[in-house]
Structure 1
């Protein structure tokens, strides 16, 4: 009976170790499963960003913080998106929009990236009026509009840099081409 209990304990420990090992690596790869590790493993920089409301008279820090992945190219163009959007196991609306590149609207009104985001079902608004805007600033960066990243946020909670998405749809890569950096398989159409 005692040998059986010891054998059962060893099987339990071995199973727990296997489950832990499987949880730390994505299927078919040796990449760690954490979203931040996925980001850095694909050339990005993961960091914590804070949300700011832009009243037009200054930036107001908000309570929301989120881990974003930043890609910066040699030309200093950059693109940010949440690490959990990049490392999601299944397609997200942000990833689908990036890979499938829905056409740009004809003659958009106002900010082209906000208009495109709304056209494809997302939002860049920080309130109920079109003039309510804001964005995300990496903790430790100066709190100014030069460091503010506006995001196109979708109903599933995924998000992507609004300007990066708009430029990509027009054929311009900012920061990095994300098409093969998403963890999930994104069907072309």
Structure 2
């Protein structure tokens, strides 16, 4: 690689890395800066790209931030309902397990506990943040202090992630936030 080309690539990586780190307080990337291709796809589909972090909520009113972060795409309807999906899940070039679960609406068990978690587990996903049924958690904006602002999500073996309640409601015929069926970049069989 020529020195000038290597320098240009290094500068591009440095500038991109800095821009990705610069997000608004609500986790939304600044317009035109630091947005990944997945975040850009999210916005093109009518969603809001946000950086969210995982939180452990347990069964109390205290939440504990966990390591890592993920770019999520949030769709909010006029009625205030919403659905969240990982931006890379929405923008994947090939079908993901979360996309297949959303579009195909497989049957799953019901539970006297949290039906969204039971459904997620029943279709081979996980939304658990501990080994007790009362252990909870989900994804929230950085610095969140209120457990009710953390959104539970169903994660599948391929790493794809979708809002657990949005998935459960959609399986029952209710659209929350937006109908994602035509928003996936990949062609989803059964759509």
Give the structure-1-normalised TM-score.
Answer: 0.78
Decide which moves more: 46-55 or 69-78.
Answer: 46-55
Correspondence 1:127-142 to 2 at 5 A:
127-139=130-142, 142=144
- Separation of aligned partners in 2, 1:159 and 1:133: 16
Aligned residue number for residue 89 of structure 1? 93
Q: C-alpha displacement at 1:70, in angstroms?
A: 0.2
Partner of 1:13: none
What is the CA RMSD across the aligned residues, in angstroms? 1.7
Q: Quick one: structure 1 residues 56 and 128, their matched pair in 2 at CA, closer, same or farther if it must change by over 3 Å?
A: closer
Q: CA deviation at 1:110?
A: 1.3
How far apart are the structure 2 equivalents of 1:162 and 1:151?
5
2:59–2:134 contact (8 Å) kept in structure 1: no
Distance 1:172 1:131 in 2: 26
Report the secondary structure of 2:158's partner residue.
coil
Match of 2:155 among 149, 153, 156: 153
1:110 pairs, out of 109, 113, 116, with 113
4+ residue segments displaced more than 3 Å? none
For the pair 1:50 / 2:53, whether they are aligned, the reply is: yes
Q: Structure 2 length normalisation: TM-score?
A: 0.77
Count, aligned residues: 156
Q: Are positions 1:69 and 2:93 aligned together? A: no
Distance apart, 1:34 and its partner CA: 0.4
Establish whether residue 167 from structure 1 lines up as the match of residue 145 from structure 2: no
After superposition, what is the alpha-carbon deviation per residue over 1:66-112, rounded to whole angstroms, capped at 9, x for unaligned?
1100000000000101100000000000000000001242x424110
| Aligned 8 A contact 1:127 1:133 in 2 | yes
Range 108-117 or range 72-81, more displaced: 108-117
Query: Post-superposition shift, 1:33?
Result: 7.6
Counterpart contact for 1:46–1:69, Cα < 8 Å: yes
What is the deviation of 1:50? 1.1
Gaps of 5+ in 1: 1-31
User: Which of 170, 176, 183 does residue 178 from structure 2 map onto?
Assistant: 176
Distance 1:49 1:174 in 2: 20
